[in-house]
Structure 1
């Protein structure tokens, strides 16, 4: 009976991790179904060991093992975050890895109900909140991120390009990285469609290596 319960905990963690992971897999994120399933079942197994094997009546502290899982997943999640200029990618993936580990720990501790509830909450956040965020217009103004080589005349040429195309610029920020620069341009929400239509012309400015709108 003991091993049946332990197996059920691990299987529940595997299922929960796979459910969360498949939501990332379908949009081709670096950490997908297998990664989330492995993290969830691994966290569950370590929790099971910490509460059944590594602790006795005389010594042992299962909380220490749980703390190591949290910090370990933090390092793993940090590896999925990529910053290039003003563009930061992977924050949501890192967060889902962290929550997945927490779900695994919950199942490993035998908290089936709470862990199932958190799994449902995680699925709701990943599947639906992005759509709501877009419906509400997002958190910031539309942004155009430009990568280019360092050139003293480049910023002026880019500014003139926006003026010539009648695109309202709300703010411009520049970040230097060795011989390259990243330029973040926030534009008016009403000019997004227009900017997308003429984006290819922006990349033809001498010195511009790439541009994307978000």
Structure 2
């Protein structure tokens, strides 16, 4: 089995745990969007988290491999910079303006957060991933409910805060 999976610094069961945490966090963040009928729901958020975790794992593995051979100057933090640019491009694509209103900003922000949580999970920083998830869920779900009951607050349709 080990030959099939290839050599790795990070044990396979640890990789599965990291991917699972990333996917679970993406699911919980995407659920808010899915329940409101907004695009970029559960599957999108799970895939963003998983791809971010996978990119971090690849970066960590390459760092260990290159360091062990004494080649070059490996820096796994470059993956974070690359992911930030890539996810920024993806998020910009979900923001649009129509009839003088801006839509998709919260969805873009949850995708950005999902990517950050995925990076933390992929890097094995479980406490950061879980703490980030807790705050993100509070922001997108609880704050949405609270703002609906504030004096002077209109009750927009679920798609209005997209």
TM-score normalised by length of structure 1? 0.62
Quick check: 1:85 aligned with 2:94?
A: no
Deviations 1:38-95 (A, max 9, x none): 0001000000110112453233111111101011111101111110131111000000
Runs of 4+, deviation exceeding 3 Å:
none
Query: Is 1:34 the counterpart of 2:43 in the alignment?
Result: yes
Unpaired stretches in structure 1, ≥5 consecutive residues: 143-191, 193-212
Q: Which has the higher strand share?
A: 1
Q: Distance in 2 between matches of 1:23 and 1:130?
A: 10
Residue equivalent to 2:3 = none
Matches for 1:144-159 after TM superposition, within 5 Å = none
Structure with the bigger RCO (C-alpha within 8 Å, sep 6+) is: 2
Measure the CA separation in 1 of the matches of 2:112 and 2:56. Answer: 15
Deviation at 1:136, TM superposition (A): 2.2
1:103 aligns with 2:117: yes
Cα shift readout 1:146-181 (whole Å, capped 9, x = no counterpart): xxxxxxxxxxxxxxxxxxxxxxxxxxxxxxxxxxxx
- SS where residue 80 of structure 2 aligns? helix
Q: Counterparts of 1:130 and 1:14 in 2: how far apart (Å)? A: 23
Bigger radius of gyration, 1 or 2? 1
Cα deviation, residue 20, structure 1: 0.9
TM-score, length-scaled by structure 2: 0.81
Q: Secondary structure at the match of 1:31?
A: coil
Give the match's secondary structure for 1:29. coil
Q: 1:6 aligns to what?
A: 15
In 1: Cα distance, 2:15 partner to 2:145 partner: 38
Q: Report the count of equivalent residues.
A: 143
* Partners of 2:41 and 2:151 in 1: CA distance: 28
RMSD over aligned Cα, in angstroms? 2.1
Partner of 1:83: helix, strand, or coil? Answer: strand
5+ residue gaps, structure 2, are 1-9
